[in-house]
Amino acid sequence: MEEFVVRGQNKRSPANDAISPRKKIKLERMKQEEEEEEEDEFSHPVPWQKIEAEGLDCDYALLFSKEEADHLLKQLEEEVVYSTGEEAKVQIFGKVYDIPRKQATHGDAGLTYTYSGVARLACPWTPTLEYIRDAVTKATGQTFNFVLVNRYKDGRDHMGEHRDDEKELDPLCPIASVSLGAPRDFVFRHRDTRGKRTRRQIEPVKLELAHGSLLLMNSPTNTFWYHGLPVRKKISLPRVNLTFRRILLDQKKRPSVDSQQGTSD
């Protein structure tokens, strides 16, 4: 089954289930030994859960207490200014639709984010975004130069299945997804199981992303698995999601390594 053990540790807890009784998700509690990284301000190491499937490798943890997450969400609701007008629309089949959520992009000076073929300049970091970014770095050892903020005002707001596979992303850097506000279901689906002609039988992997949680999507997850945030009409409260990324500084194609397909621009 799971032939992909990307990380070094191999202990497995019994199968667990996040939201669906028929879905089994392998969870692994990473031991707190070999913690040379815990010295700083994180007096208690983050208890990670490993989520694995064929070609999928994620780590999930509660990064912030409820009190701190409440505070961070409140701050973000005051600080973040979301795109409006043309930037809040998407064109499909020549028809223009409103994006069913709100988006903002922040990052180091000069970085751009491409959505639906349009590049947008990153706004400067805000104090709260910097604070969360640094907390993620302390918990993961990874550094990030960009964050995409998605705000889902209620359960009608959503995001369709996609991969974060852009060429300008550092392919070896995980994408770190911080969730604040209403818990929402999150679904991974293997690319070989999508569409009319399904080639393989691979079960989707479903999670619930909690208030204050951090989900790390490690390589090669975004090569093989789509992810989406489905509509959940019973949810009436907002959720704000931050996906921290590392964008390559030289926009040129990397000469070495992979020959995996990239996405369009």
Partner DNA sequence: CATTCTTCAAGCAG
Partner DNA sequence: TCTGCTTGAAGAAT
Q: Does 236 bind DNA (CB under 7 A)?
A: no
Which ranges in the chain belong to alpha helices (H)?
66-79, 127-140, 221-224
User: Could you give the angle at the alpha carbon of 208 between the alpha carbons of 203 and 210, nearest 5°?
Assistant: 160
Residue in 10, 43, 256, 261 binding DNA, rule: CB under 7 A: 261
Answer yes or no whether residue 208 interacts with DNA by CB under 7 A.
no
- Alpha carbons 41 and 213: distance in angstroms, whole number: 18
Tell me which stretch binds DNA (CB under 7 A): 7-15, 59-67, 121-129, 231-239. 231-239
Question: Is 97 labelled as part of a ligand binding site?
Answer: no
Q: Three-state SS for 83? A: coil
**239 among annotated binding-site residues:** yes
17 binds DNA (CB under 7 A): no
Concatenating the DSSP letter of every residue in 128-171 gives: HHHHHHHHHHHHHS---SEEEEEEE-STT--EEEE----TTB-T
How many Å from the N-terminal Cα to the C-terminal Cα in the chain? 35
- Exactly one of 163, 220, 238, 248 binds DNA (CB under 7 A); that residue is 163
Is position 206 annotated in a ligand binding site? no
Interaction of residue 90 with DNA, rule CB under 7 A: yes
Contact between 107 and DNA per CB under 7 A: no
From candidates 41, 233, 252, 257, binder to DNA by CB under 7 A: 233
Binding annotation: 93-95, 113-115, 150, 152, 162, 165, 227, 239, 243, 245
